[in-house]
Chains A and B, each alone.
Chain A
Amino acid sequence: MKITPVKLWRRQAKVSSQIGKKGKIIAWTTIRIPSKEFTSQAPYPVIIVALESKEKMTLQLVDWGMENLKIGQEIITVLRRLYTEDGGDGIIHYVIKCKPL
């Protein structure tokens, strides 16, 4: 997807307030054939979480083990790099992901 500095900048206030929120997994899958920019990260889980605030989000699950892939698993949101490839001359994009609690 196209990341531009302006899009990143515009989203910052919202993203900032979403860090460190707790929730539970309500659906999960493991992506084995990813989109292009995620190749180095695959396989990785993508989950739908229901936060304590009742808001729902689709997020990548990081720092995970097989035992965390279950409906009801507690998670907390974190800020991580969107892409993990080094180098390049573009802006670094940070997004909300989540990790098991």
Chain B
Amino acid sequence: MRLRFFLRRLVMLIATLLVSSLVIFSALYIAPGNPIATLSGGRSLPPESVKILEARYHLNEPFLAQYGLWLRNALHGDFGISITLRENVSTLIVSRVGTTAALVLYASVLILVIGIGLGLLSGLKHGPADTSVLVLTAVSAAIPAFVAAIVLMLLFAVKLGWFPTLGNGQGVLGTIRYLTLPAFALAISSLAIVARVTRAAVREEFRREHVQTAISRGIPYRQMVFRHVLRNAAIPITTISGITVASLIAVAAVVERAFGLNGLGAYLVAAAASKDFAVVQGISLVLVTAFVFVNVLVDVLYAALDPRVSLGARAQ
């Protein structure tokens, strides 16, 4: 059963990658602009040079031939070369993937720990604690990542000088120091949403009949919370956390740019602007794969949390 589940997910992943690569390639192909123009920076190149450059990057071939060529090479592990940097796409991606992974991981930890923590606090306690969390999350949910980036940078980097304004650090501690502000900028609004959903889920469970019955029977509070409330509330919390974390991969672009990090997201934006086909394709594949993996992880968690859900069961 499990094997079948993973096999099916693998097939779905491959299908998703194929479809998305075709869609992205077509979109980029149709989009106005010309990669050779990016190369020449607006200068009028001699026609002979243009021909050579177009042939070098196969830009003179029809759409399907270009896509077919890219796909064939990709299946052999060759993701092409970047037009702007004249460098292997795999090399360029590998040098950046760590930054994005670390940033997303750091932000996810913040979201899960602080978001769920605040949500539980607010859901379980009434009074000032609940109100403060509500106010706090209402404000932070409304702060987009790029605004958070500027505010955090001005306050903690320029005014207080606690953290660097931009760049990547060296080593584990250095990386954490350099990524702290970006991770908070990335996490701040998602964190609030996770906290809100967690609070709602906990409250919802409290109102359920079996919980009310348990309370009336005098089952100890702690036991009731862990066994009946949290266990059931875990399903919606996992769902929202999964979606939030998966979406971080895309939002990271904004934060990477603001903090001058050499991540995949910022690079994807730059590459799309200069119509650097191979780079856009390569990064998209990485991002789609990561997205699918996060979703698989969430599904596995469902099964672990709720015995009624079995891996590979078809949706009802």
Q: Do A and B bind each other?
A: no
Chain B: residues with CB nearer than 8 A to chain A?
none
